[in-house]
A = this chain, B = another copy of it.
Amino acid sequence: MDLKELRINEDRLRETLETSAGIGATKNNGLERCAATDEDKQMRDIYVSWLKECGCEVVIDEMGNIFGIRPGKNRELGAVLTGSHLDTQKPGGRFDGILGVLGALEVLRTIHDNNIQLERDLIITDWTNEEGGWFAPACMGSGVWAGNITKEFAYARKDRDGKTVFGEELERIGYKGDFPCDHKQWNLYGAYELHIEQGPVLYREGIQIGAPKGILCLHWYDVYLTGAANQVGPTPMEGRSDALLAFSEMNLVVNKVTHQMGAMVGTVGEIQNHPNSRNIIPDGVHFTVDIRSWDDDHAVKAWEMMKKEFEVIAERRGCPIRAEETWKVEHAPFDKVLWDRVVNVSEELGYTCKRMISGAGHDMSEVNKITRGAMIFVPSINGRSHVECEETPYEDCAKGANVLLHCVLRTANE
């Protein structure tokens, strides 16, 4: 057959995505399937059975990363890897990560059904806990695999309520495998990740495929403020140390500096206020700062400007401050050859395509450190993501999977 004419099965992809959408479904049409939960196990079990139906060898590593391997003609050659994650935010949508795994599965099924023998091994992956929605940090499975964090660190992470431990929960659901979680176990040639854009650009411009040149850096900071709790009524305004007021000023500083610097996004998404009682002056605030830019130095400079202003505010408001860097992922430029291939394949398939940047972090941030990587984006309706109403039309999902199919075919036959 002429490989050029090959297309994935759109109906089957849709059915597969719908099956996934039923495992951990929320009443608002979203998904809540955090890593190492019962829903995660249920999804993994089905996914592994699907891999086996395609005759794959299935490897589960110590972090629960699932690898489905379709051997190539020449097993000495580096493999082509593609995949994403099946876990979600708490709650999240039905496409983020999931499309990348089940789109890769659809590519595998298409190749398998057509008895296509590739030159290189094809490996499709489900990375454990990309979201970090229940056990932080994010990109845990790919992060350990790439050597960015240790297995021991990951195992010891507690859930958001501080009650269960990740390693124990992974074992409980039966996905703490024996295979070493280490990229050195794998001989790779290149990697792709199909994903929803999670931003509004493709949707607004009516473009079908996005080809990101790489992923913005991601710098996470945690700030802790200490005030003095007192009953609000009898405590005069003068002399108060109100940690929530100090926070409020600081949040506006994050926004101001982000706008001033430009070429970045800066956000406070999370706050804990103590004791959080309407008639007690807040004595403790913890908040997060998320800074992303294509330029790591630019992001660091922005943080330093913010921190300097924070310290002035903290001093003036009598609220001692502690600020720490929690996580830092440098910006990840993708491989130029694979990036161009995404564009070329899209055009050959007759899809409109835009070169862009990924604002969100992905498992590819980690994989790209180990092998040549690239990503394929499809539109997010209204740019909504990490919410239950996250949505991408199935025909757009199919287009993305077709681009993935031909990128994989081309790369795996080199």
Contacts and interface: CB of A to CB of B under 8 A. Distances in A.
Interface of A: 89-90, 96, 133, 138, 197-201, 216, 218, 220, 228-237, 239, 242, 244-245, 247-249, 251-252, 255, 258-259, 265-271, 273, 275-283, 288, 290, 292, 358-361, 383-387
Given A231-B198, A236-B199, A360-B231, A268 B251 contact: no
Contacts of A200: 234-236, 239
Given A236-B265, A237-B265, A386-B277, A199 B361 contact: no
Contacts of A386: 229-231, 275, 277, 279-280
Contacts of A216: 233
Contacts of A383: 230, 234-235
A333 B199 CA distance: 58
B269 A271 contact: no
Given A232-B292, A270-B276, 17 more contacts: A89-B277, A89-B280, A90-B275, A199-B230, A199-B236, A200-B239, A216-B233, A232-B265, A233-B292, A234-B358, A237-B258, A237-B266, A244-B251, A244-B269, A248-B249, A269-B276, A280-B386
A233 B270 contact: no
B271 A280 contact: no
Nearest to A91: B275
User: 5 closest A-B pairs (Cβ-Cβ)?
Assistant: A199-B234, A233-B359, A234-B359, A278-B288, A233-B360
Given A89-B277, A244-B251, A258-B237, A267 B197 contact: no
A43 to B, nearest CB: 21
Contacts of A384: 228-230
8 contacts: A198-B231, A199-B234, A232-B290, A234-B359, A234-B385, A245-B255, A269-B278, A270-B273
Contacts of A259: 237
Contacts of A90: 275, 277
Nearest to A247: B248
A150 B216 CA distance: 57
Contacts of A265: 232-233, 235-237
A220 B277 CA distance: 12
Contacts of A89: 275, 277, 280
Nearest to A199: B234
A242 B271 contact: no
Contact of A278 (B237, B278, B282, B290): B290
A60 B117 CA distance: 84
A58 to B, nearest CB: 31
A282 B288 CA distance: 12
Nearest to A254: B245
Interface centre among A216, A230, A239, A247 (most CB of B within 10 A): A230
A246 to B, nearest CB: 10
Contacts of A201: 234
A241 to B, nearest CB: 12
B236 A245 contact: no
Contacts of A244: 251, 268-269, 271
A225 to B, nearest CB: 13
A233 B283 CA distance: 31
A33 to B, nearest CB: 16
Contacts of A277: 89-90, 133, 269-270, 386
A367 B383 CA distance: 56
Contacts of A220: 278
Nearest to A220: B278
Contacts of A232: 265, 267, 269, 290, 292, 359
